[in-house]
Chains A and B, each alone.
Chain A
Amino acid sequence: MSDYEEVRVLPTGVYRVRYKQLTPGQIKALRTRTKKKLQDLRVKRNRLISELNEVEAAVEKVNGFLEENQSPEIDGYIQRYEEQKAKAGERAEAFLRDFLGEEGYAEFRKDGFLELQDTLGESWRVYSDGTAMRWENGNFRRVCVIRQRELPLPDHIVSVVQTIREQPERLMNVRR
C-alpha cells in the first residue's frame, strides 16, 4: 500500500483526490497534534466564554444604569434645569442690555464687540463670545479669562466689562 490519487466526479464538480498513507508513528504524531489542537481550542473557548460573561455583566450594568437615568423623575429634573437655564439666559440678556444701555447694547450686538478703556487708559475689547482682548504693542491681544461654570454668557460679559472698568490689573498679565 502506498500513496495514490484518483479523480472523482461529484454533483458539485470534478475533483482530484490525493491519499497519503500514514505510518503508525505518523498516526501517533497526528493524534498528539490533534489532541493539542483540541486542548488549545477548549482553552480558547473557555476564555471567550469568560470574556462573554464579563461583557454580558457589563451590558447588564450599563443597561441598568441607563434605565435608572431614564426615569420620569430624572427627566423632570433635566427639564426643570433646562427651563431654569433658559430663563436665566433671558434675564441675563436683559441685564446686559440694562448694563450697557440701549445704545451700547445695540452697538455691541451689531459690531460683535465692545470697545472700552480701563482706569489706566488702556484699550480693551470684549467680544460677544465672552473673550477679551487688550491693546498692546500695536495689536489687540487676547487675555485668558476664566468663565464661571454655568454662568450665562451675558453675565460673563458683564463681569468681564465691569472688571476691566474697575480692576483691570486682575486681567493684565493673563495673556493667552
Chain B
Amino acid sequence: MRRLNELGHETLELTPEEAEKLIVSEQGRYFVVDEATNALLKEVSLEPGQRIALIPIARGG
C-alpha cells in the first residue's frame, strides 16, 4: 500500500485485513485507488498482492 500523507511518500506492506482496517480508520480522508488500473475502489475488499494507493482528498481553503 502506498499512502500519500504529510509524512511524505510512504509505502506499507500490509495484509489485506490490515490494509482494510487502515482504510476504514482513515475513511473520508483518502481516495483508495488500485495502482494497476488507477481505478477508484468504492468498496474496501482487497486481494493479497493487490497494490493500492491512498490519495488524500484535497481540501479547499
User: Within the complex, which residue of B2, B40, B59 is in contact with A170, where a contact is CB–CB below 8 Å?
Assistant: B59
Q: What residues of chain A lie closer than 8 Å to B31, measured between beta carbons?
A: 162-163, 166
Q: Would you call the interface of chain B mostly helix, strand, loop, or mixed?
A: strand
Closest CB of chain B to A59's CB: distance in Å? Answer: 37
In this complex, how many residues of chain B approach chain A with their Cβ under 8 Å: the count is 22
Closest CB of chain B to A3's CB: distance in Å? Answer: 81
- A171→B59 CA distance, assembly (Å): 7
- A166→B28 CA distance, assembly (Å): 13
Q: What residues of chain A lie closer than 8 Å to B8, measured between beta carbons?
A: 84-85, 88, 150-152
Q: Does B24 contact A (CB under 8 A)?
A: no
Q: Does B35 contact A (CB under 8 A)?
A: yes
Q: Does A135 contact B (CB under 8 A)?
A: no
Q: Does A2 contact B (CB under 8 A)?
A: no
0/1 string, B29-58, CB within 8 A of A gives 1: 001010100101000000000000101111
Which B residues contact A (CB, under 8 angstroms)? 2, 4-11, 31, 33, 35, 38, 40, 53, 55-61
